[in-house]
Amino acid sequence: MIVRTLQAAEKSDRRIVTENWESVRLLLKSDGMGFSLHVTTIYPGTITPMWYRHHLEAVLCVAGEGEVETLEGDRVYPIKPGTLYALDRHDKHVLRAKTRMRMICVFNPPLQGKEVHDRSGAYPLEAEEIEG
């Protein structure tokens, strides 16, 4: 059994911080679950283009408001607490945070730990692992 607290993970190398967001990675590839689980905070007023060409992602908003726009099809969806979106087709998208947003994110295949977006907005398929 794996037991971790968000509070402890926030004080470890499982917390990854970028200009637009920070992500606390509670489950990673090394945990052997077949997916990774993250609590991600999107900073207010940010615009983040993303394209997970190597990963599928499901996102549940638990706090804050914003919108996600698909770049192929030009659809804009409002995001608020209780909204789930799933990038089941490796969708190119842009996330706009109106307020500070708190998201629960699941990735398949699982992230290894230290991933940040590359120039295309994707995470690399292989990255530096976080131990423990």
Which tens digits make up the pLDDT trace of 75-113? 999 999 999 999 999 999 999 999 999 999 999 999 988
95: CB partners within 8 A, 6+ apart: 42, 47, 48, 50, 66, 67, 68, 79
* Per-residue model confidence (pLDDT) at position 115: 77
Q: How far apart are CA 44 and CA 20, in angstroms?
A: 8
Low-confidence ranges of the chain (pLDDT < 50): none
Q: How far apart are CA 63 and CA 30, in angstroms?
A: 28
63: CB partners within 8 A, 6+ apart: 81, 100, 101, 102
Asked if the structure places residue 7 within a domain, the reply is: no
Asked if the structure places residue 102 within a domain, the reply is: yes
Number of residues that this document lists for the chain: 132
* Per-residue model confidence (pLDDT) at position 82: 98
* Per-residue model confidence (pLDDT) at position 17: 95
Tell me phi and psi for residue 8, to 5 degrees. -70, -40
* Per-residue model confidence (pLDDT) at position 72: 84
Asked if the structure places residue 121 within a domain, the reply is: no
For residues 121 and 51, is the Cβ–Cβ distance under 8 A? yes
Asked if the structure places residue 31 within a domain, the reply is: yes
Neighbours of 124 (CB within 10 A): 15
Report the CATH number that the domain containing residue 93 is assigned in CATH. Answer: 2.60.120.10
* Per-residue model confidence (pLDDT) at position 127: 64
Asked if the structure places residue 116 within a domain, the reply is: no
* Per-residue model confidence (pLDDT) at position 71: 87
Asked if the structure places residue 23 within a domain, the reply is: yes
Q: How far apart are CA 70 and CA 91, in angstroms?
A: 7
Q: How far apart are CA 103 and CA 18, in angstroms?
A: 15
Asked if the structure places residue 74 within a domain, the reply is: yes
Range of the domain at 79: 19-108
Mark out the alpha helices in the chain (DSSP H runs).
6-10
- Whether this model's pTM surpasses 0.85: yes
For the chain, the domain total comes to 1
Asked if the structure places residue 43 within a domain, the reply is: yes
